[in-house]
Amino acid sequence: MTPGSPIDAEALERLAARALREVPDGALIGLGSGHTAAAFVRALGRRVREGLRVRGVPTSVATERLAHEVGVPLATLDEGVLDLTIDGADEVDPHLDLIKGYGGALARERIVAASARRLVILVESEKLVPVLGRRGRLPVEVIPFARPLVMRELAGRGCRPALRTVDGKTFVSDNGNWIIDCAVRPIEAPAPLAQDLRAIPGVVETGLFLGIAELVLVAEAGHIRELRRGESDRVTTAGP
């Protein structure tokens, strides 16, 4: 797979099949957002129809709608601690730190990930980067009222902010908030930056997800690569 090319359906199926091996019967799981997470939800629906007992907590309205369509029973965070969350990411560095939020679901994705004992990330190989920020974009979710302040503060930090729009209209998250996309250079110290940005009044969430992914499954040509925090990576097949 070359950088910038779309992931193919067969690779998505392999990725989803491998991720299903992480889901025990009776699990309460977080359901991520984005195209790789959607492939997993569809595969999970097939397993549910075959008898697997699970309940899912969706990270977006789109994922909730898809889960309904494929027959995955839904739950809420009131049910307790989740067994695991399976989600995608927009960047993954060698430490398994992440940038998320290109799809705009970052706040709910953070909450659901933090509610789970484990976070498993599904990505295509082009999402692997040597340093976070390599793709030049860092999403920040903000309360609309705070946009002028947050834009000034982000600009003052060299983040080159731009309000996200879709078809000429301001993008609105499922939480009713706006997304500011920061044009960034590679981020050599993501932890201090994340702390600094989240301290800005009106910032709801940033796309820096640090120190929380336990396992990253990477779709590569003909196989799935496993990256585990603190361990050497492994190459596996991804049967059901």
Catalytic residue set: 109
For residue 157, what are the contacts with CB-CB under 8 A and spacing of at least 6?
A: 196, 197
Spell out a b/e string for 193-217, using b for 16 or more CB atoms within 10 Å of the CB, else e: bbeebeebebbbbbbbbbebbbbbb
**What is the Cα–Cα distance from 95 to 25, expressed in whole angstroms?**
30
**What is the Cα–Cα distance from 116 to 120, expressed in whole angstroms?**
10
Question: Is 5 buried (19+), middle (13-18) or exposed (0-12) by CB count in 10 A?
Answer: exposed
**What is the Cα–Cα distance from 61 to 28, expressed in whole angstroms?**
18
Q: Which 3 state secondary structure label does DSSP give 27? A: strand
Whose structure tokens read 């950088």?
3
